[in-house]
Amino acid sequence: MLEVGYLHIDNPIAIISSHKHPETEVAAGLLLLDGFDLDDVSLQKMQESIESYNAVEKDALKTRAMGICATCSRDEPLLEAAKLASRNLCLLDLRLSKIRDPIRLLELIPRLKRCGVTLSLRIRPEDLSNELLEKLQESELDIIHLDLRGLNGAGPKMVKKAKDCRGPVVMALADIGEFDDARVLMAMGADVVSLRGADPEFAQWLSLAMKEYDSISGWGNAPKHICAGGDLRGLAFCCPPVKHCAVLGALKKAGMTPEEFVARKLALARGTPLEKGEGTCFGSLVWCCKASKMCYLREAAMQKIGLSDREYMELKKKLAEDLLRPSC
C-alpha cells in the first residue's frame, strides 16, 4: 500500500482512461480520468464525471484511488480544479501541454498545493531539465509522473534519475507489453506504473500479478544492487565500504561518508532481526544481498532466526527508507 497525501494506492498499477469512456472494470490501484482541458471542458463536467464514475463503481473496486488529469492556459480554472479534486479526494494530475513556461509551473505548484490537493505532474523527459528536476524536488509536488512512452529502453534510466533525487513519488507511464516491462521500471524506483490505452484484460491481469508479487516478495519495487546499476535504495543491500566499488559513488550522491553509512546502518539494524547474521560475510544481515541472490550462508543465518525471505525484504525496504531519510 502506497500512501501519498490523502491517496491510498493498494496496487502499483494505474490506468489512464478518457473521462468520456472511463475504464471501470480494471482492479488497478489508481484510475486517472484524462482529457480535462479546462479551456474547453467545464468544472461542472469534471464533477459530473467523478460522480458518474463513483456511481458505477463496483464494490470490489471501491478501494481504487482516483485522479483527474487537467491542463489549462489560465491558472484560475486549475486552482478551482485543485479544490474540486481535494474535496473528492482525487489526485490532480497536471498536464504540461498548456503550461509550457517553467516559471509559471513553479509558481503554480505551491498555489495548487495550498488548495489541499494531492498533486502530480505529468512530464516528458525532454521537458525535464536537471534544473527543473532539482526545483521540483524542492517543491511540494507529491508525484512526478514521467511520460516515458516511445523512449526505447531509456525509460528506466530516467526513473532512476528521478528516484535518486529523493523528492516526489515516481510514477512511470510507459509502453508495457509484459510483466517484466513494469517490473524493470519498478526495480529502478518507480512506485507506480501507469498504462494508457492498454487492453483491459491485460491491465487487469497485470494489476493482480503486481499486487501478488508485492505481497509475496515483501518489496515489490525492490532495487537492483548498486553495482548492478540500481538506484540509491540499493544501499540497503551494500556491504561495508571496504573496497573500491560503486558504493562509493552512491554514497557521494546520497551525501553520506563511508563512516556515516556504516554507523547509520548499524544503528538502524540494532534491535531488529537484521542485526543477526552469524556465519554471513560481515556477521550481520544488514550487509547482506537481495533475497533473490542465492546465498547459502544468508539462508542458513535466516533459518536459524526463523526469518522468511518476505520478512527479510520488508526489513530491507524499511532500512532503505530510513537510510535515505534526510533527518536520519
What are the residues binding ligand SF4 (CB under 6 A)?
225-227, 237-239, 245-247, 280-281, 287-289, 295, 297-298
Q: What grid cell was written down for 307?
A: 526469518
CA atoms within 13 A of residue 228's CA, in its CB half-sphere: 14
Rounded Cα–Cα distance for residues 157 and 246 (Å): 16
User: What is the identity of the amino acid at 95?
Assistant: R
Q: Toward ligand SF4, which CB reaches closer, 16 or 222?
A: 222
Give the length of the chain. Answer: 328
Least separation in angstroms between residue 226's CB and ligand SF4 is: 4
Q: Toward ligand SF4, which CB reaches closer, 108 or 302?
A: 302
Q: Toward ligand SF4, which CB reaches closer, 200 or 283?
A: 283
Place of cell 482525487: 90
Enumerate the β-bridge partners of residue 73. none
Q: Toward ligand SF4, which CB reaches closer, 177 or 283?
A: 283
Least separation in angstroms between residue 228's CB and ligand SF4 is: 8
Least separation in angstroms between residue 315's CB and ligand SF4 is: 14
CA angle 222, 148, 214 (to 5 degrees): 25
The phi, psi pair for 194, rounded to 5°, reads -110, 150
* Cβ atoms 16, 195 nearer than 8 A: yes
Rounded Cα–Cα distance for residues 284 and 61 (Å): 43
Q: Toward ligand SF4, which CB reaches closer, 87 or 304?
A: 304
User: What is the identity of the amino acid at 199?
Assistant: D
Least separation in angstroms between residue 252's CB and ligand SF4 is: 13
Least separation in angstroms between residue 130's CB and ligand SF4 is: 24
Enumerate the β-bridge partners of residue 15. 31, 195
Place of cell 551525501: 255
Least separation in angstroms between residue 282's CB and ligand SF4 is: 6
* Cβ atoms 121, 137 nearer than 8 A: no
Place of cell 510514477: 171
Q: Toward ligand SF4, which CB reaches closer, 32 or 235?
A: 235
The phi, psi pair for 228, rounded to 5°, reads -100, 15
Residue 44, SS3 per DSSP: helix
Q: Toward ligand SF4, which CB reaches closer, 99 or 246?
A: 246
Least separation in angstroms between residue 288's CB and ligand SF4 is: 3
Q: What is the DSSP letter of 78?
A: H
Q: Toward ligand SF4, which CB reaches closer, 33 or 285?
A: 285
Rounded Cα–Cα distance for residues 233 and 170 (Å): 14
Least separation in angstroms between residue 160's CB and ligand SF4 is: 15
